[in-house]
C-alpha cells in the first residue's frame, strides 16, 4: 500500500516472519545506525528473536502505558537519543502498539525538526488502524491526545502473526476499531465484517489478513485529501468523543478500542433518541457491538467526570458538545449542538442497559 502524505509519502508492507527479515528490510535504506524503541511486553514475549534482530544496535525498552505518552516522560526519551548521539542519518525503529507509536512519532517529528522513523506495529489496533494517517499524540494533564503533530513513519511493516500473543482485551480493542471502520464504509464492506465476525476464532481464520487490509483501505479513503483532519476525516471520531472521555475518566481502565465500542453504542443511542437512527438499525448495531463490550464497572466513573472530559475534547466547537452521530452504514455526521441534559439522560439509559459480555 502506498500512502500519499503532505508530510512525506510512505508505504505499508505485509511481511511473514518479520523478525527473521532484518537484512531484507534494511538492505535498501541509507543510514548510519538504528535505535530501537521496543514495547516492554512485546520484548518479553519475543525476547530471543527480538534480541537477534537488534543485534549490536541500541534499544530502549518502554512500558506501553498511557502515562508514557506524557509531556514529562518525553524528556527522558529525547535525552536517551541525544546521549546515544542520534543524528539525522540514523533511523528510529519502533516495535509496539499505538502507545509506542504515538510516543515515537511525536519524538520523531520534533527531534531535530524531524528524523527518519520506521514502524513495526505489534497490536491489532496499530496494524489495522493507527499505523497510517500520520497522527502522533501525547496526553496532557488528565486529558487524552491533546498535544500532537502529523508525522508518518517512512515505512511500515506488518506481521499479523504478532497478534497471536495479544490479551483478549487488546485483541478486542483492535476489533473495536475494525468494526468502526466497516460501519463507516458501505454494504459490501459491512458484509465482509459480518462474514469475518461470524468465525469461531477471530485470529485463526482465512479472513483475518483481509479484514486488516480492508480496514486500512477504508481509513485511507477517509483521510486521503483531508490528512490534517479539517473535514471528512473528523467523522472517524465516531465512538471517540464518549470513548476518549471514558478512557480518561476511568484512568484508562478500558483499552482504547473497547472504549470506542462503548462510545459507538453511546452515539447510536443518542442518534436513536434524536430520531436519526431507526429502532431496527439501532438494535442490529447494538447486537453486533455489544458482543465485544468489555465488562466495565460504571461505579468507577461519574457522569460529571465524563462531562469534564467531553468539554476538553479537542474536536469540540461552540458552547455545546460535539459528537459523531450515525444513521446507518456509511452515514455518520458530526453534530455540534448536543446539550448537557441530552448527554446526561442518554448516559443514564445507556448505563442501565449496559451488559459487558466478556
Ligand atoms: N496515532 C493514531 O492515529 C492513533 C489511532 C488510534 C489509537 N491511538 C492510540 O493508540 C493507543 C492504543 O494502542 P494499542 O491498542 O495498540 O495499545 P498499546 O500500545 O497500549 O498496547 C496494548 C498492550 O499490548 C501489549 N502488546 C503490544 N504488542 C503485543 C504483542 N504482539 N503481544 C502481546 N502484547 C502486546 C502492550 O505492551 C500493551 O500492554 C492509545 O493511546 C490511542 O490513543 C493512536
Q: What proportion of the chain, given as a percentage, has pLDDT over 90?
A: 87
Residue 148 CA to ligand 1 center (angstroms) comes to 17
Total count of domains within the chain: 2
Question: Of 165-169, 200-204, 323-327, 333-337, where does mean pLDDT reach its minimum?
Answer: 200-204
pLDDT tens-digit readout, 250-307: 998 999 999 999 999 999 999 999 999 999 999 999 999 999 999 999 999 999 999 9
Give this prediction's pTM: 0.94
Domain boundary residue, one of 117, 138, 165: 165
| CA pair distance 343, 141, nearest whole angstrom | 24
Same domain? For 231 and 161 the reply is no
Q: Does the pLDDT at position 103 exceed 50?
A: yes
Same domain? For 227 and 317 the reply is yes
Same domain? For 230 and 304 the reply is yes
Separation in Å, CA 357 to CA 169, 172, 289: 12, 12, 10
Q: Does the pLDDT at position 133 exceed 50?
A: yes
Residue 174 CA to ligand 1 center (angstroms) comes to 9
| CA pair distance 167, 80, nearest whole angstrom | 30
Over residues 91-110, the mean pLDDT reads: 98
Same domain? For 256 and 337 the reply is yes
**Whether residue 258 has its Cβ less than 6 Å from ligand 1:** no
204: pLDDT confidence band, cut at 50, 70 and 90? confident
| CA pair distance 190, 328, nearest whole angstrom | 11
Residue nearest atom 38 of ligand 1, based on CA coordinates = 64
Q: Which residue has the higher pLDDT, 141 or 335?
A: 335
Over residues 323-330, the mean pLDDT reads: 97
Over residues 92-103, the mean pLDDT reads: 98
Residue 175 lies in a domain: no
Closest CA to 220 of 133, 135, 156, 153: 133
95: pLDDT confidence band, cut at 50, 70 and 90? very high
Instruction: At 8, give phi and psi (nearest 5°).
Output: -165, 140
Residue nearest atom 37 of ligand 1, based on CA coordinates = 41
Q: What pLDDT score does 73 carry?
A: 94
Q: What pLDDT score does 227 carry?
A: 84
CATH code, domain with 39: 3.40.50.1970
Mean pLDDT of the chain: 94
Over residues 26-51, the mean pLDDT reads: 97
Residue 123 CA to ligand 1 center (angstroms) comes to 6
44 sits in which H/E element: helix 40-45
Residue 236 lies in a domain: yes
Task: For ligand 1, pick from 125, 174, 226 the residue to mutate: most ligand atoms within 8 Å of CB.
Answer: 125
Domain boundary residue, one of 165, 198, 227: 165
Task: For ligand 1, pick from 97, 163, 243, 254 the residue to mutate: most ligand atoms within 8 Å of CB.
Answer: 97
| CA pair distance 313, 144, nearest whole angstrom | 8
CB 121 within 8 A of CB 97: yes
Same domain? For 134 and 199 the reply is no
Q: What pLDDT score does 200 carry?
A: 85
| CA pair distance 93, 95, nearest whole angstrom | 7
Closest CA to 5 of 218, 152, 213, 108: 152
**Whether residue 50 has its Cβ less than 6 Å from ligand 1:** no
Residue 91 lies in a domain: yes
Residue 239 CA to ligand 1 center (angstroms) comes to 17
Same domain? For 156 and 266 the reply is no
Same domain? For 137 and 207 the reply is no
Separation in Å, CA 31 to CA 23, 61, 87, 92, 106: 13, 22, 10, 10, 21
Q: Does the pLDDT at position 342 exceed 80?
A: yes
Closest CA to 136 of 112, 178, 104, 114: 104
Q: What pLDDT score does 142 carry?
A: 76
**Whether residue 97 has its Cβ less than 6 Å from ligand 1:** yes
Atom of ligand 1 nearest to the CA of 144: 43
Judged on CB neighbours under 10 Å (0-12, 13-18, 19+), 241 is buried
Residue 102 CA to ligand 1 center (angstroms) comes to 9
Angle at 228 between CA 152 and CA 308, to 5 degrees: 105
Who's near 140: CB < 8 A, 6+ residues apart?
70, 71, 146, 147
Over residues 13-34, the mean pLDDT reads: 96
Task: For ligand 1, pick from 170, 178, 216, 246 the residue to mutate: most ligand atoms within 8 Å of CB.
Answer: 170
Residue nearest atom 19 of ligand 1, based on CA coordinates = 97
CATH code, domain with 269: 1.20.1090.10
Residue 257 CA to ligand 1 center (angstroms) comes to 9
pLDDT tens-digit readout, 143-199: 788 899 999 999 999 999 999 999 999 999 999 999 999 999 999 999 999 999 999
**Residue range of the domain that includes 306:** 183-353
Same domain? For 105 and 159 the reply is yes
Q: Does the pLDDT at position 105 exceed 50?
A: yes
Residue nearest atom 29 of ligand 1, based on CA coordinates = 42
| CA pair distance 207, 308, nearest whole angstrom | 41
Residue 51 lies in a domain: yes
| CA pair distance 2, 12, nearest whole angstrom | 7
Same domain? For 49 and 105 the reply is yes
Q: Does the pLDDT at position 358 exceed 60?
A: no
Q: What pLDDT score does 316 carry?
A: 74
Amino acid at each position: 500500500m502506498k500512502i500519499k502524505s503532505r508530510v512525506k509519502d510512505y508505504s505499508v508492507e505485509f511481511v511473514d516472519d518479520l523478525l527473521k527479515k532484518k537484512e531484507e528490510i534494511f538492505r535498501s535504506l541509507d543510514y548510519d545506525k538504528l535505535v530501537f524503541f521496543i514495547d516492554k511486553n512485546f520484548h518479553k514475549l519475543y525476547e530471543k528473536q527480538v534480541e537477534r534482530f537488534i543485534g549490536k544496535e541500541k534499544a530502549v525498552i518502554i512500558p506501553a502505558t498511557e502515562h508514557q505518552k506524557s509531556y514529562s516522560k518525553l524528556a527522558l526519551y529525547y535525552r536517551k537519543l541525544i546521549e546515544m548521539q542520534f543524528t539525522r542519518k540514523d533511523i528510529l525503529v519502533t516495535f509496539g502498539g499505538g502507545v509506542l507509536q504515538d510516543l515515537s512519532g511525536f519524538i520523531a517529528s520534533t527531534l531535530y525538526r524531524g528524523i527518519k522513523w520506521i514502524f513495526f506495529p505489534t497490536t491489532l489496533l496499530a496494524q489495522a488502524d493507527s499505523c497510517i494517517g500520520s497522527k502522533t499524540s501525547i496526553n496532557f494533564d488528565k486529558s487524552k491526545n491533546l498535544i500532537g503533530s502529523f508525522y508518518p513513519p517512512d515505512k511500515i511493516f506488518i506481521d499479523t502473526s504478532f497478534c497471536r500473543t495479544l490479551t483478549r482485551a487488546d485483541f478486542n480493542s483492535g476489533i473495536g476499531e475494525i468494526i468502526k471502520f466497516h460501519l463507516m464504509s458501505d454494504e459490501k464492506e459491512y458484509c465482509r465484517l459480518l462474514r469475518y465476525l461470524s468465525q469461531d476464532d477471530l485470529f485463526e481464520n482465512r479472513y483475518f489478513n483481509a479484514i486488516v487490509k480492508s480496514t486500512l483501505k477504508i481509513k485511507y479513503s477517509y483521510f486521503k485529501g483531508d490528512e490534517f483532519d479539517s473535514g471528512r476525516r473528523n467523522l472517524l471520531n465516531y465512538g471517540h468523543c464518549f470513548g476518549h472521555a471514558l478512557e480518561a475518566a476511568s484512568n484508562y481502565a478500558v483499552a482504547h478500542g473497547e472504549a470506542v465500542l462503548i462510545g459507538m453504542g453511546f452515539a447510536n443511542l443518542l442518534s436513536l433518541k434524536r430520531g436519526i437512527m431507526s429502532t431496527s438499525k439501532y438494535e442490529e448495531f447494538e447486537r453486533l457491538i455489544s458482543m465485544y463490550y468489555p465488562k466495565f464497572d460504571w461505579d468507577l466513573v461519574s457522569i460529571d467526570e465524563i462531562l469534564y472530559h467531553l468539554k476538553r475534547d479537542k474536536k469540540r466547537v461552540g458552547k455545546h458538545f460535539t459528537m459523531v452521530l450515525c444513521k446507518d452504514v456509511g452515514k455518520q455526521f458530526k453534530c455540534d449542538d448536543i446539550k448537557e441534559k441530552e448527554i446526561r439522560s442518554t448516559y443514564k439509559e445507556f448505563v442501565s442497559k449496559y451488559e459487558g459480555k466478556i
